[in-house]
Amino acid sequence: MKKSLFLNAFGVIAAGALMFAAPAMAAGDAEAGKAVFKKCATCHSDAAGQNKIGPSLYGLIGRPSASVDKYSYSQAMKNFNRTWDEATLFDYLAAPMKAVPGTKMSFVGLPDEKDRRNVIAYLATLK
């Protein structure tokens, strides 16, 4: 029993240490992100219900992938099955075609981490 208590306590301490060791995603600048969004605006709208070549990105944060009405998603995006949160978007926007092979989105991505953080901050304002 003592060994079990020790292992449980050790597990809690180790989990806590990992939590503090993992870097938190730094908040981006929504105003700067609005400027970065111009790269996205060729294919995506930031207005509710206005799909373009790509689906509207209004209300994206917290929305399940491939869930905008009246938009025809690729099978790859339908199979992606994620909720668009900041971490998922941060990874996806680095290289969309790598994150979701077979996606219709031909954008090469935003390699600059600051640009990704900023555009995610802007997308978070679209509610």
Which CATH number belongs to the domain containing residue 74 in this structure? 1.10.760.10
Give how many domains the chain has, as a whole number: 1
Contacts of residue 26, defined as CB under 8 A and 6 or more positions apart, other chains included, come to 117
Least trusted range by pLDDT, from 15-19, 33-37, 53-57, 105-109: 15-19
Dihedral angle, C-alpha 43, 46, 49, 55, nearest 10 °: 30
Question: Which pLDDT score, from 0 to 100, does residue 25 have?
Answer: 57
Dihedral angle, C-alpha 76, 82, 30, 54, nearest 10 °: 30
Question: Which pLDDT score, from 0 to 100, does residue 26 have?
Answer: 65
- Considering the domain boundaries, does residue 46 fall inside one? yes
Average pLDDT, the chain: 87
pLDDT at 45 over 50: yes
pLDDT, tens digit, for every residue of 57-104? 999 999 999 999 999 999 999 999 999 999 999 999 999 999 999 999
* Rounded Cα gap, residues 18 and 9, in angstroms: 14
Domain that holds residue 112: 28-124
